[in-house]
Amino acid sequence: MDTYCWSHLGHAVHTVHQQPEQDYSDRPALLLVHGFGASTDHWRYNIPVLAKTHAVHAIDLLGFGRSSKPAELAYGGPLWRDQLVAYVQERIGRPTVIAGNSLGGFAALAAGAELKQDCAGVVLLNAAGPFSDEQQPPKGWAAIARQSIGSALLKSPVLQRLLFENLRRPATIRRTLNQVYVDKTNVDDWLVESIRRPSLDPGAFGVFRTVFDIPRGQPLDELFAELTAPLLLLWGMRDPWINAPGRRATFQRHAPAATTEVVLDAGHCPHDEVPDQVNASLLDWLAGLT
């Protein structure tokens, strides 16, 4: 597996790349996109398997992992969408399947819709992001007051710093992972450290603070309407962070008619919790594309 430092908007971006031993250049490349607080390290059990038959790339979004964390950037969907689009066009240079988990799923879908014919497919693993009807403002004085007070508290620099210091403690990281993994086998010291290490970088707290101000971005239903590539939804149905059955039903109402779905007995990060099942499902779907 090769590592490469690519530049986007003048900032260093960490990427990894692994090629098959045989020539499979007739098949689409794969670009893997991590979720919030994670990095290319989170694809540890996927890249070696997928790279047997496809050129596989993984990228650290700006603000995360080993990529730069500059204070002046407007973190959010448009930044990460454009980063992925530029990487496909500049570094891969051929039709690419983009797969993303959680926040990375939202970025993958937005990039796939933007790339048009240069996107060979999109794979969403418990993707984040709002639908149009979820962006409506709260109704009634009580709902507005609750949201306003909660928002004001979360924008307090002191409270944000306290939250950040607590969230990057190894014990807190492990506890959080144990909450979102049904099978805790892969919640190991290596995974905890891969999440803790980037939080020590200069600028990490600044990126964390932007979480409370990140624009929601384009709604998922609008992105689905713009997507021309095949879509695969991989669901960890025991995800405690989202109402997976309810969210799946919403996705089914808006996703393209030919969408493929795979339901797994896993939590928020199925690619790392049940990698054998995710790899098999993804390779089976990719075989149908080729």
CATH number of the domain within which 263 lies: 3.40.50.1820
Sheet with 260-264: strands ordered across: 2-8, 11-18, 56-59, 29-33, 96-101, 119-125, 231-236, 260-264
For 181-204, how does the pLDDT look when each residue is reduced to its tens digit (9 = 90+)? 999 999 999 999 999 999 999 999
| 172 Cα distance to chain centroid | 21
Look at residue 264 in the predicted model and tell me its pLDDT.
98
**Tokens describing residue 184:** 């805790």
Alpha helices in 116-259 (DSSP H): 141-154, 157-167, 170-180, 189-196, 204-210, 220-226, 244-254
User: d(Cα 140, Cα 45) in Å, to the nearest integer?
Assistant: 48
Is 140 inside a domain boundary?
no
Look at residue 154 in the predicted model and tell me its pLDDT.
64
Is 151 inside a domain boundary?
no
| 34 Cα distance to chain centroid | 4
For 221-265, how does the pLDDT look when each residue is reduced to its tens digit (9 = 90+)? 999 999 999 999 999 999 998 889 999 999 999 999 999 999 999
User: d(Cα 16, Cα 280) in Å, to the nearest integer?
Assistant: 21
Is 121 inside a domain boundary?
yes
Residues of the domain holding 88: 2-135+168-289
Strand partners, 13: 6
For 114-149, how does the pLDDT look when each residue is reduced to its tens digit (9 = 90+)? 999 999 999 999 999 989 877 665 555 555 445 544
Is 149 inside a domain boundary?
no
Count Cβ atoms below 10 Å from residue 11 Cβ, excluding itself: 16
Is 144 inside a domain boundary?
no
Is 150 inside a domain boundary?
no
- Contacts made by residues 247-252, CB under 8 angstroms, sequence distance 24+: 250/131, 251/220
| 217 vs 163, residue with greater confidence | 163
Predicted TM-score (pTM) of the model is 0.93
Look at residue 242 in the predicted model and tell me its pLDDT.
85
Look at residue 209 in the predicted model and tell me its pLDDT.
82
pLDDT of 106 over the 60 cut: yes
Tell me how many domains the chain contains: 1
Is 275 inside a domain boundary?
yes
Is 161 inside a domain boundary?
no
| Contacts (Cβ under 8 Å, ≥6 apart) of 283 | 49, 50, 53
Count Cβ atoms below 10 Å from residue 190 Cβ, excluding itself: 10
